[in-house]
Amino acid sequence: MTNGRQTADQSRPIRVLVVEDDPVTADAHVLYVGRVPGFVAVGKAHTGAEARRFLDRTPVDLLLLDLHLPDVHGLQLARSLRAAGHHADVIAVTSARDLAVVREGVSLGVVQYVLKPFTFATLRDRLARYAEFRGAAGEASGQDEVDRALAALRAPSPAALPKGLSGPTLERVTSALREAKEGLTAAGVAVTVGISRITARRYLEHLVEAGRAERKPVYGQVGRPELVYRWVSQGR
């Protein structure tokens, strides 16, 4: 929002600006936000410059901000927005796992980090907890109430994965796919990661559903076409 923080109004949805340079991913995030009660995606920007222009003309409560934009790092954008008097909170979306970046972001209004790839359930959880934190109003009766308000924001539940999938294996499959510029089949992922082909396909389909991978059939000389999976927006 512009020039001074506005008091939270519980009678209206929380206004979200999606800042993401990949058009497909940006559209997916807009759809995700729209599926969470109490939130509305008021726009999207593909660069830091677009985000600044949007904020100059439209009130926004929350930025869903990719940290790796083509013209500026997300934290540099957040810093410049603070200096210009914009006080929207920030949920950072990134594949980076540098804890120094996390610490820096805290001082710039980054209230949550969501690591790519993530599911709708993960983002829904973060947004719901942000809404709970934002909705806290009035004077705290004591330390316990302050702690409860902060806990809603700082202690999220573990990210929800489909039954049978694990976080460590998902990270290994993700890493294998990101490193394979030409893509991998389920059999190729199975060999690389050390899991069965059926299990590899379940993880790959999960990444496709989350918008972090794409699949295309490759036709050979005989037999059915084989599906090749490729990472979306590599290097992000």
Q: Rounded to whole angstroms, how far apart are CA atoms 117 and 161? A: 11
Residue 201 makes CB contacts below 8 A (sequence gap 6+) with 186
Tell me the three state secondary structure of residue 43.
Answer: strand
- Asked if 33 and 79 count as a contact pair (C-beta separation under 8 A), the reply is no
pLDDT digits (tens, 9 = 90+) for 178-188: 888 889 999 99
Q: Rounded to whole angstroms, how far apart are CA atoms 127 and 135? A: 12
Tell me what percent of the residues of the chain surpass a pLDDT of 90: 42
103: left (phi over 0), alpha (psi -120 to 50) or beta: alpha
Q: Rounded to whole angstroms, how far apart are CA atoms 89 and 92? A: 10
Closest to 212 measured CA to CA, from 23, 46, 25, 27: 25
Q: What is the average pLDDT across 154-176?
A: 75
pLDDT digits (tens, 9 = 90+) for 23-49: 988 999 999 999 999 999 999 999 999
pTM: 0.60
pLDDT of 234 over the 80 cut? no
Name the DSSP letter for residue 14: E
Q: Please report the pLDDT score of residue 221 as a whole number.
A: 62
